[in-house]
Amino acid sequence: MALADTIRAAVQTGPRQIELREFPRPVIGPQDGGLLRVEACGICGSDVEQYRGNLSSQWLPMVPGHEPLGIIEEVSDSAAARWGVQPGDRVAVEILIPCRSCDLCLAGRYMSCRHRIGSHGGSNPPERGLGLWGGFAEYIHLHPNSILHKVRGDIPAEVAVMYNPLGAGVRWACHLGGVELGSTVLILGAGQRGLAAVLASRAAGAGTIIVTGLARDGFKLGLAREFGADYVIDVEAEDTVSRVLSLTGGAGVDVALDLTPMAAQPVRDALSAVRWGGRVVLAGLKGREPVSLSTDLIINRALTVVGAFSVDSRGYAEAIRLIEAGRFPLERMHTHTFGLEDIGRAIETLAGEVPGEEAVHVAIVPAA
């Protein structure tokens, strides 16, 4: 199939301002990466922040979309050898394009790379200019340092693209939280990452899984039960900590994860609901606002508190294996698909700004 000369991509130019533009098709030279035909790109809370203009405007104009899944259309020989892919392969693309040589990269902490080249759908240094780096586009121009993961081709794109939220669930619950066979887990927040943490905890063999949500989260809490949560708590109707203590015979849970945006109380609830010596994983950003809490609680109960920054390759790889195993009805989590023309509406739908729409997982499908 012959490629078109121009490629359509969504360009954000300001807060809530996204327009479709045409870009010339990049020429992939021998030292370049490749060209990825985007099948689907997921949307998350940081897309909402970016859309509203709460992140730095120095990034603009840019092509957003940092959770892409697609088919390799073109690849240089050197990149094909490095990635082990050929045209036609389906891959997931990580957001960061690291240097792959600094001390942090070599230690596996490439998400904090000191000399990062840029990102797919996040910030890029001004000298890279406006390019086809983000996933809200027909094609992504891959850098040789881009990080790819092969994904089996027979899974529906809207499900395969869940490698991103599911990778967060795997890393935050299992790798950082230490959820394992028999663990008792409290997951605060029932968004797509809360649900992903339920799936990861269930897959890891957790004993008891408890999930919290708001009164309006009925659909999400129902999904949590479907994915393996044993108990759900409506935090507007009952006290989280006393319910968790009563469900665990007064002991508290082994692991608590705070995945709630902006709210302070779930952090305090997490610290009070874990057992003596338990672990608390913090992943819900609070808009840089301070959270008041008693650090004595952490000391006297010998707690471990972990900050969950981003997801790493191991998290994504295990999430992809979980998707490929097909054991969970992941498609139940996918609620909305939009085309490239409707990105503003897609983001507003995920953000809960569209009356009557209850969104959990939203994806952009350029061919839709």
The residue ranges that bind Zn ion (CB under 5 A) are 44, 67, 98-99, 102, 105, 113
Identity of the residue, 26 or 194, whose beta carbon is nearer to Zn ion in the bound complex: 194
We find the least distance from the C-beta atom of residue 14 to Zn ion, in angstroms, to be 21
What whole-number distance in Å separates Cα of residue 107 and Cα of residue 127? 27
- For residue 122, give both structure tokens: 């996040």
Exposed / middle / buried, residue 249 (Cβ in 10 Å: 0-12, 13-18, 19+): exposed
The answer for 241, left when phi > 0, alpha when psi is -120 to 50, beta otherwise, is alpha
Q: How far is the CB of 107 from Zn ion (least distance, A)?
A: 10
CB of 121 to Zn ion, least distance (A): 8
Nearer to Zn ion, 96 or 185 (CB): 96
| 267: alpha, beta or left? (left if phi > 0; alpha if psi -120 to 50) | alpha
Nearest approach, Cβ of 96 to Zn ion (angstroms)? 9
Question: 102 or 241, CB closer to Zn ion?
Answer: 102
CA 157, 162, 164: angle at the middle one, nearest 5?
Answer: 130
Give Cα separations from 85 to 71, 89, 119, 313, 316 (angstroms).
10, 6, 20, 17, 17
Cβ atoms within 10 A of the Cβ of 230, count?
17
Provide the phi-psi class of 58: left if phi over 0, else alpha when psi is between -120 and 50, else beta: alpha
Residues 65, 137 contacting (CB under 8 angstroms):
yes
Closer by beta carbon to Zn ion, 99 or else 251: 99
User: By C-beta, is 67 or 254 nearer to Zn ion?
Assistant: 67
What span, in angstroms and rounded, lies between the C-alpha atoms of 295 and 302? 11
Are the beta carbons of 74 and 87 closer than 8 angstroms? Answer: yes
Closest approach of Cβ 168 to Zn ion, in Å? 8
Distance CA 139, CA 134 (A): 9
CA distance 200 to 327: 12
In 3-state terms, what secondary structure has residue 216?
Answer: helix
Nearer Cβ to Zn ion (210/343): 343
Nearest to 43 by CA among 274, 361, 300: 361
CB of 312: closest distance to Zn ion in angstroms?
A: 13
For strand 304-307 and strand 274-282, is the pairing parallel, antiparallel, or unpaired? parallel
Q: How far is the CB of 1 from Zn ion (least distance, A)?
A: 30
122 vs 177 by CB, closer to Zn ion: 122
Nearer to Zn ion, 66 or 268 (CB): 66
**C-beta of 186 vs 363, nearer to Zn ion:** 363
Whole-number minimum distance, CB 120 to Zn ion, in Å?
A: 11
For 111, the token pair is: 């998400």
At closest approach, how far in Å is the CB of 49 from Zn ion? Answer: 10
- Residue 184 CB, nearest distance to Zn ion (Å)? 28
Q: Which is nearer to Zn ion, 113 or 176 (CB)?
A: 113
Residue 164 in tokens = 């991103």
d(CA 117, CA 96): 8
